[in-house]
Amino acid sequence: MTEPLTTEQQNAAFLADWEVHAGFGAVPGTIGVDRQAGTAPDGEQRRWFAELLESHGFTVRRDAIGNQFGLLELVPGAPYVLTGSHMDSQPTAGRFDGAYGVMASAHACFRVAEELRANPERARFNLAVVNWFNEEGSRFKPSMMGSSVFTGKMPLEAALETTDHAGISVREAMGGLGELGDFAFPEVASYAEIHVQQGRSMEEDGVTIGLVDATWAAHKFEFKVTGEQAHSGSTLMVDRRDALLGAARLVVAARELVDRFEPGALHTACGELNVYPNSPVVVASEVELLLDLRSPSADVIREAHTLLMETVAKVEREDRVQIEIVAEHSWDRNPYPENGVELARSVAEELDLTHDRVMTVAGHDSTNMKDTVPTVMLFVPSVNGVSHNLAEFTRDEDLVAGVDHLTGVVRRLAGGALA
C-alpha cells in the first residue's frame, strides 16, 4: 500500500501542477496569460486538466454548455460536494484569477479522496471538481455563463447562440474544441469556491484567509449610442450627431458619479467601446458601450442609476443622439450563508491561519451557486490588489495556505457539514 503524502509533498505537488498550468496561454515576457473562453489555449488547458483529474481516479464529464466536471463516487447514489472556479481569463490577464480556485479545488479533493478511501465510513457525500465555462464574459457576454446555465438563471439555447465580435457562437467555439457534452449533474449537497481577492485589503490587514460574507450590489449596462455618419472634416459642428461624443460623455459621467457619494461607496467602469465605422475621417454613427455600477449599498446603486439615467436623457437632448439600453444585468447586495462563513472560520482557527470577514466586489460563480445550495466562498490575498492585469500575483505561501484551508472545508462538507 502506498504511503500517504506528507504535507510538504502535497504542497510541492500542488505548486508543480500550478506551474504547469500557468504555461497554457502564457504571454511571452510576462507572468500573465491569455486564454479566453473557447479559444485554443482554453482547449489545451481543459485537455490537460482532464488528464490530471483522471490520473487521480476522477471521471471527467462535460455538460451541454461546456462546464467541465471531475467526479469521484465514494458513496453510491449520494449527492456531491462540488468545488471549483473557472479557468478562462480576460485578454492578457493574470494567471491566478479563477484558475487558482480550480487547481486548489482539485488538490483539495485529491487530499480528501485519499483520506476517505482509507476511511470510507467517514464519507457521507461524493466529491466533484468544476471548471465553470466563461466566467469572465470577455469573449462571450454575459459573465458567469456556465454557472448561470447550471443554476437555471440563463436558458441553455440563449447561451449556446451567443456570439463573439467575430460572429462565432458558443456552440461553434466549444463544439470545435470537443468540449460540449450531455452530462446532467446529479444532486449537489454543497458548494465551495476559493479565489484570489482581487483587492488589497487582506494584504494590508495581514489576513491569509478571507471569509466572504456578502457580494456588493451591481448594475451593468450595455448601451448603444446612435448618431449619424458624416465627414469628420467638412461637416459643420452644428450639424453633427456624433455617437462617439455621446458615448464619451457617458464614460465621463460614470467617473463623475463616484464623486457624488462618500469615498469608497461607489465603483464605476466603462470597460468596452465598439465604434462604427471607426474611421479617421468619419463621424461615428454607432457606439456600443459597456458600463457598470458597483456598491456595497443597494441604495447607492439605485441613486446612481437614477443619476445616470438623467445624464442619458441630457446627452440624447444636447448631442442629438439616441441611447438605447440593449441589455442590463443587476443584483443587490447579497449575503453568503452564515453557517458557511462560520464553518470556514472554524477551519481557519483549527489551522491557525489569520482570517477575517470580507465582501466580494467582483462577481464569482459562487454568487449563482449560493442561491441554490449551501455555499462557502473564500479568498487568499492579492499582492497590491492587482487583477485583470498581466502583473497579477499571489505568493506561494498564500496559495498553499488556501489549499490547506479549502481541504479542511471540503473534508467537513464531505462528512455532512451544512447538509
Answer yes or no: is pLDDT of 22 > 80. yes
Model confidence, pTM: 0.91
What is the per-residue pLDDT for 189?
A: 98
Query: What's the confidence (pLDDT) of residue 209?
Result: 98
Q: Which residue has the higher pLDDT, 1 or 124?
A: 124
Q: Binning pLDDT at 50, 70 and 90, where does residue 329 land?
A: confident
pLDDT at 2 over 70: no
Residue 297 is predicted with a pLDDT of 94
373 pLDDT tier (thresholds 50, 70, 90): very high
Structural domains in the chain?
7-216+333-414 (3.40.630.10), 217-331 (3.30.70.360)
Residue 306 confidence (pLDDT): 97
**What does the pLDDT read at residue 5?**
86
How much of the chain exceeds pLDDT 70, in percent? 100
- Please compute the mean of the pLDDT values over residues 380-405 and round it to a whole number: 97
3-state SS, one letter per residue, for the chain: CCCCCCHHHHHHHHHHHHHHHCCCCECCCCCCECCCCCCHHHHHHHHHHHHHHHHCCCEEEECCCCCEEEEECCCCCCCEEEEEEECCCCCCECCCCCHHHHHHHHHHHHHHHHHHHHCHHHCCCEEEEEEECCCCCCCCCCCCHHHHHHCCCCCHHHHHHCECCCCCEHHHHHHHCCCCCCCCCCCEEEEEEEEECCCCHHHHHCCCEEEEEEECEEEEEEEEEECCCEECCCCCHHHCCCHHHHHHHHHHHHHHHHCCCCCCCCEEEEEEEEEECCCCCEECCEEEEEEEEEECCHHHHHHHHHHHHHHHHHHHHHHCCEEEEEEEEEECCEECCHHHHHHHHHHHHHCCCCEEEEEECCCCCHHHHCCCCCEEEEEECCHHHCCCCCCCCCCHHHHHHHHHHHHHHHHHHHCCCCC
> What is the structure's pLDDT at 332?
86
Q: Give residue-wise pLDDT tens across range 36-74.
A: 999 999 999 999 999 999 999 999 999 999 999 999 999
Residue 331 pLDDT: 83
Output the pLDDT for position 137: 94
CA distance 214 to 338: 10
The pLDDT tens digits for 235-294 are: 999 999 999 999 999 999 999 999 999 999 999 999 899 999 999 999 999 999 999 999
Average pLDDT for the chain: 96
pLDDT confidence of residue 12: 97
Which tens digits make up the pLDDT trace of 67-113?
999 999 999 999 999 999 999 999 999 999 999 999 999 999 999 99
**1 falls in which pLDDT band (50, 70, 90)?**
low
